[in-house]
């Protein structure tokens, strides 16, 4: 995670452009660092209520505390999206806190990579769960909520790895190809 001063500078540099997003609720999986944190930062700056998520309770709380220090309304929910029970807890906790879900951004991913003959089935299983099953289960749960509300959006974050397999990019590239499909 960037240093607090750098994060604050980035937050202040964002010019809100979409007032219609104010007070809507966004779940951003994998948002304790990297691209996910950047997305959460932007949505918070637009006035959305943001659910910060990753598998690490410490990382989730650190990112959420940083966003709160800028005045954002943030809920910290550590959960492994590869497990249905944890996805259920993520959505149930969000609904208890905010009563709705307007946006789901499936960003979480296990990005470990290797050469085909060097990876084992444990890595394959972990990435199938987190990178394919997770977005599917999260999307299914979000779609049910959004259908009842009559509105909502789901965004999947992929990678150039989804376009073709790289020399040392498996099984990650395979899972991102599935997201592209």
Q: What CATH code is carried by the domain that includes residue 28?
A: 3.40.50.720
For residues 32-36, average pLDDT: 95
How many domains would you assign to the chain? 1
Range of 90's domain?
Answer: 4-180
Q: Are 135 and 156 in contact (CB under 8 A)?
A: yes
18 part of the active site: no
pLDDT for the residue 174: 86
pLDDT for the residue 1: 63
Convert the pLDDT of each residue in 107-128 to its tens digit: 999 999 888 889 999 999 999 9
Write out the two tokens for 150: 């009559």
pLDDT at 160 over 80: no
Q: Give 4's pLDDT tier (boundaries 50, 70, 90).
A: confident
> Could you tell me the end-to-end alpha-carbon distance of the chain, in angstroms, rounded to an integer?
31
Q: Give 162's pLDDT tier (boundaries 50, 70, 90).
A: confident
Q: Are 108 and 34 in contact (CB under 8 A)?
A: no
Give the contacts of 83 (CB within 8 A, at least 6 positions apart).
Answer: 129
Convert the pLDDT of each residue in 51-105 to its tens digit: 999 999 999 999 999 999 999 999 999 999 999 999 999 999 999 999 999 999 9
């Amino acid at each position: 995670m960037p240093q607090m001063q750098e994060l604050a500078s980035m937050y202040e540099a964002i010019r809100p452009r979409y007032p219609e997003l104010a007070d809507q609720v966004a779940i951003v999986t994998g948002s304790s660092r990297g691209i996910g944190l950047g997305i959460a930062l932007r949505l918070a700056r637009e006035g959305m209520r943001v659910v910060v998520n990753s598998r690490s309770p410490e990382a989730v709380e650190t990112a959420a505390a940083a966003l709160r220090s800028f005045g954002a309304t943030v809920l910290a929910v550590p959960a492994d999206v590869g497990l249905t029970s944890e996805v259920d807890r993520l959505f149930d906790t969000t609904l208890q806190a905010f009563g709705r879900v307007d946006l789901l951004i499936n960003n979480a991913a296990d990005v470990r990579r290797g050469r085909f003959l060097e990876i084992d089935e444990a890595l394959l299983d972990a990435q199938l769960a987190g990178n394919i099953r997770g977005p599917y289960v999260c999307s299914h749960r979000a779609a049910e909520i959004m259908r009842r509300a009559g509105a909502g959006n789901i965004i999947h974050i992929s990678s150039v790895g989804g376009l073709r397999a790289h020399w040392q990019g498996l099984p990650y590239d395979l899972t991102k190809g599935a997201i592209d499909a």
